[in-house]
Amino acid sequence: MLNSINLKPYILLPIFLGISLNACSADKLTVVSWGGSFTKSQVEAYHKPYIKETGVEIVSEDFNGGLAEIKAQVESGNVTWDLVSLDKPDIVRGCAEGLLETFDPSILPAGDDGTPAKDDFIEGAIHKCAINSIVVSTILAINENQFKGKATPTKMTDLFDLKTFPGRRGLQKIPQGNMEWALLADGVSAEDVYAQLETREGRDRAFNKLNTIKEHVFWWTTGAQAPQMLADGEVVISSAFNGRISNAKRDENQPFKIIWDRQMGYMNGWAIPKGSKNLERAIEFVVFSSKTKPLAKQAAYVSYGPTRKSSTINMDKALLDTLPTAPQNFETAFLVNDEWWGDYADELNEEFNTWLAK
Amino acid sequence: MHLELTSLPSVVDMQDPLNEDQAKLKQNLQKAERKKRLRSLMLTLPLLAFIMITFVVPIAEMLYRSIDNPLIAKNLPNTVKSLSQWEQQGLPDKEAYNALAEELIRLYQSKSLPPLASRLNIEVAGMRSLMMKTGRKLSTFEQINDYKTAMIKIDKRWNNIEYWGAIKNLSSKFTISYYLAALDFRQNAQGDIVAQPEHRQVYLNLFVKTLGLSALITGLCLLLGYPLAYLLATLPDSKSNLLLILVLLPFWTSLLVRTTSWIVLLQMQGVVNDLLLYVGVISERIQLVHNTFGTVVAMVHILLPFMILPIYSVMKGISPDYFRAARSLGATPTIAFIKAYMPLTMSGVGAGVLLTFILSIGFYITPALVGGRSGQMISNFIAYHMQSSLNWGMASALGGILLLTVLIMFYLFNRIVGINNIKVGN
């Protein structure tokens, strides 16, 4: 039986694969993102025009965020990803741990209106390890059907108002954002939030504020859960990523409403794992995708704000209003301090988990 | 007769070559046997290699990672040397400041400071930015005479023994710091082992809870599975086969599908709440999922086949004659069941309990999805340290403790039930 099987192809296959992989790596980029409608927006706005212009092949892969895979690739010395769509906290952390390539921001071209790149990008968008392309916001959202003929929540502090708005609340199961909201709702001014969070008293103050709603909170972990819980009527108000809520409104006609008050803004952009085999091509892609037009184009597919001011100049008013960066939405926005969290995330995560388990 | 025979020279002569032949034959036989054994051993080689690559090596690597601590000793050799005499009472002497400053500048310029700063940040929050900031600023200075003053000027935290203590505590190539943290202890600036502050004690309770939940789930599985296995074993084949398919069908269904189905059933606006409300058992909707209750229900459902199948297969092999004999000797049905039947099923029960318990200790995806705030288990935290905090040493230490717990359980189980008495089938 065994003799009748020709083993040759099986022995040759790995060798052949090895050769072909090496041969391919020259003009092929592996671009990794979060999948679903988000990846689709990037494919339409960045990948397709880039392929058209350069002829480089792009392999699109999905991941779940975080740095675990990048760390594993960098440590083993076998880096197969060329570009990764990372959230700013992970960019800061990955950069601090030396997992990402750094690049010189002077290579970025000016905006289409002639504004130099360093003035065109909003503050914090240009990082030495990544160019952030969008502003994502954690906002509060409600299902209007649940508030028919009743007072409707309009501001962030309503999250903590169980008397006027009874019912379960949805919050993301991380300390980031929740600690800040708790302190802001407790009357701490925006400038003092992080100074307070460095002290024991400040942290206890935040946890005490969160204690007032603790028994009524459903803690979600993935972005899809929040709109799902709102649609099912499991929660009356929930924090969520604004793009998820906008998409549910637009594509599924969900009666959702976004409360922009105290939106927690953070950014997302392209980073290159250290040791990428196609470094030059990858940097070329970053530069290409962060031009005015591609950034504007992405917003048409998913409601996240472009980081270049010049991208919003010719934008449709109706579209602009759905973005976190629209002036009327951005008024009371709170920008999450990623550098601060880089230092304190380990410690506060432990405290947060201990508090949750209590 | 015997004597006569041996005294005959021809016979003696004939015996020798015969012996030689026999010895040769034996040798050949042994050779063949050895070849055979070697061949059969060769056949097991792929399995051995598979176990080595997928099981032994990763576990060894994990255990190694949980104590491995090369960064400080490798990158700050002079600082470590000058701190070796330091008693961890007052601030270290100037020599230590000088050594650290020079090494910080070198590391900053060669861009190898970040991993080191991250490692220290796990021990003392804020140390990452302190190290990066100090390295960056020191590199910009033209000439420095007094490093100590310069460093304290850059950040007054260098006046604090806490940060120096962290460097000293981690200065050897191997560390128990991950294991300390996994058991809610820490090494303070003086190098003494003390309990974590109360608002950071999370793991010990979690280990206890994981064991408690696993025991509860195993107990419930036994309670539900034993009668069902008995029913399966005693029904006529035509009926029991149908029932067995009902047991196996969910067993073959994806774990994720079954877990999310429970969310649909148990959520506030779900079927179970609707039904209870309609019947009038409850007057307002209750929370049945995203808590410990949800975890227990979903895990019992998922692990039930692992309990039923070994018990069933053992019961299937028990002759009904034992039960009849006990009855004919005057035992009531209950007594006969308990005294004659149940002891015979113990080997299956043992296998089922061990299987269910060990599986549930390491369960991850179900608690993550339906556990909410209170229904989390230790594996969820291992995943957290692998994926989010990137503290792989901590994840390894938690995994190491979990492994040790399982081994202890196995040992205790062996002492009480006896591993030879475990049967998965007949």
Q: What is the CATH number of the domain that holds B382?
A: 1.10.3720.10
* Contact predicate B247/B228, CB 8 Å: yes
Residues B311 and B357 in one domain: yes
A136 DSSP assignment: E
How far B203 CA sits from the closest chain A CA (Å)? 9
Task: Tell if the CB–CB gap between B374 and A353 is shorter than 8 Å.
Answer: no
* Contact predicate B311/B349, CB 8 Å: yes
CA atoms within 13 A on the CB side of A281: 23
Residues on chain A touching B391 (C-beta within 8 angstroms)? 346
- Domain closes at, from B131, B151, B171: B171
Amino acid at the residue A253: N
Residues on chain A touching B202 (C-beta within 8 angstroms)? 350, 353-354, 357
CA distances (Å), B315 to each of A68, B243, B300, B304, B329, in order?
47, 15, 22, 16, 22
Size of interface A-B (CB pairs under 8 A): 84
Query: For the stretch B357-370, what's the b/e string if a residue is b when 16 or more beta carbons lie within 10 angstroms of its beta carbon?
Result: bbbbbbbeebbbbb
β-bridge pairing A237-241 and A130-143: antiparallel
- A8-135+267-325 and A136-266+335-357, same CATH topology: yes
Q: What angle do CA B63, B65, B66 make, to 5 degrees?
A: 65
Please tell me the predicted confidence (pLDDT) of residue B424.
63
Residues B127 and B275 in one domain: no
Q: What are the phi and psi torsion angles at A17 (to 5°)? A: -60, -45
Among chain A residues, CA nearest to B200: A351
A8-135+267-325 belongs to which homologous superfamily?
Periplasmic binding protein-like II (3.40.190.10)
CA distance A175 to A348: 7
pLDDT band at A26 (very low <50, low <70, confident <90, very high): low
Residue to substitute from A73, A353, A358, interface B, most B β-carbons within 10 A:
A353
How many CB atoms sit inside 10 A of residue B67's CB? 17
Residues B99 and B158 in one domain: yes
Is B195 domain-assigned?
no
% residues pLDDT > 90 (chain A): 66
Residues B121 and B156 in one domain: yes
Domain count, chain B: 3
Task: Tell if the CB–CB gap between B269 and A168 is shorter than 8 Å.
Answer: no
Task: Tell if the CB–CB gap between B126 and A344 is shorter than 8 Å.
Answer: yes
Residue A71 has pLDDT above 50, yes or no: yes
Give yes or no for A232 touching B (CB within 8 A): yes
* Contact predicate B95/B82, CB 8 Å: yes
For residue B117, give the nearest of A96, A349, A354 by CB distance: A96
Residues B38 and B78 in one domain: no
Instruction: Give, for B186, the enclosing helix (H) or strand (E).
Output: strand B185-187
Q: What angle do CA B123, B125, B129 make, to 5 degrees?
A: 115
Residues B159 and B74 in one domain: yes
Q: What number is the average pLDDT over the span A184-203?
A: 95
Give yes or no for A145 touching B (CB within 8 A): no
Please tell me the predicted confidence (pLDDT) of residue B374.
82
How far A220 CA sits from the closest chain B CA (Å)? 8
Please tell me the predicted confidence (pLDDT) of residue A245.
94
User: Where does residue A270 fall: left (phi above 0), alpha (psi -120 to 50 degrees), or beta otherwise?
Assistant: beta
Helices (H), B145-202: 147-154, 161-169, 177-182
Give yes or no for A350 touching B (CB within 8 A): yes
A215 DSSP assignment: G
- Which range is least confidently modeled, A164-173, A200-209, B1-10? B1-10
* Contact predicate B366/B255, CB 8 Å: yes
CA distance A128 to B292: 44
Sign, CA torsion B2/B3/B4/B9: positive
Among chain A residues, CA nearest to B392: A68
Residues in chain B, how many?
426
Task: Tell if the CB–CB gap between B390 and A351 is shorter than 8 Å.
Answer: no
CA distance A260 to A137: 9
* Contact predicate B127/B121, CB 8 Å: yes
* Contact predicate B310/B337, CB 8 Å: no
CATH of A136-266+335-357, one of 3.40.190.10, 1.10.3720.10, 3.90.79.10, 2.170.190.11: 3.40.190.10
How many CB atoms sit inside 10 A of residue B54's CB? 10
Give yes or no for A275 touching B (CB within 8 A): no
User: Where does residue B40 fall: left (phi above 0), alpha (psi -120 to 50 degrees), or beta otherwise?
Assistant: alpha
How many CB atoms sit inside 10 A of residue A122's CB? 18
What does the mean pLDDT of chain A come to? 89
pLDDT band at A37 (very low <50, low <70, confident <90, very high): confident
Of A330, A324, A290, the residue nearest A310 (C-alpha): A290
Instruction: Give, for B193, the enclosing helix (H) or strand (E).
Output: strand B193-195
Residues on chain A touching B390 (C-beta within 8 angstroms)? 67-68, 71, 93, 97
Task: Tell if the CB–CB gap between B267 and A344 is shorter than 8 Å.
Answer: no
Residues B110 and B212 in one domain: no
Q: Where are the beta strands (DSSP E) in chain A?
A: 28-33, 57-62, 83-87, 126-127, 130-143, 169-172, 217-220, 237-241, 256-271, 305-306, 334-335
Among chain A residues, CA nearest to B266: A234
Low-confidence ranges of chain B (pLDDT < 50): 1-8, 10-12
For residue B268, give the nearest of A64, A234, A346 by CB distance: A234
Give yes or no for A109 touching B (CB within 8 A): no
User: Where does residue A78 fall: left (phi above 0), alpha (psi -120 to 50 degrees), or beta otherwise?
Assistant: beta
Of B78, B226, B198, the residue nearest A200 (C-alpha): B198
Please tell me the predicted confidence (pLDDT) of residue A2.
38
Please tell me the predicted confidence (pLDDT) of residue A14.
44
| Domain of B151, in residue numbers | 70-171
Task: Tell if the CB–CB gap between B387 and A68 is shorter than 8 Å.
Answer: yes
Residues B37 and B93 in one domain: no
Residues B219 and B322 in one domain: yes
With an 8 Å Cβ cutoff, the interface of chain B facing chain A consists of: 111-112, 114-115, 117-118, 121-122, 125-129, 132, 199-202, 205-206, 267-269, 290, 368, 372-374, 376, 381, 384, 386-392
Is B1 domain-assigned?
no
Q: Please report, for chain A, the start and end positions of each structural domain, with discontinuous segments joined by +.
A: 8-135+267-325, 136-266+335-357
Residues on chain B touching A64 (C-beta within 8 angstroms)? 387
How many CB atoms sit inside 10 A of residue A150's CB? 8
Using CB atoms and an 8 Å cut-off, which of residues 157-216 of chain A contact chain B? Answer: 168, 173, 203
How far B146 CA sits from the closest chain A CA (Å)? 28
Instruction: Give, for A352, the enclosing helix (H) or strand (E).
Output: helix A338-357
User: Where does residue B100 fall: left (phi above 0), alpha (psi -120 to 50 degrees), or beta otherwise?
Assistant: alpha
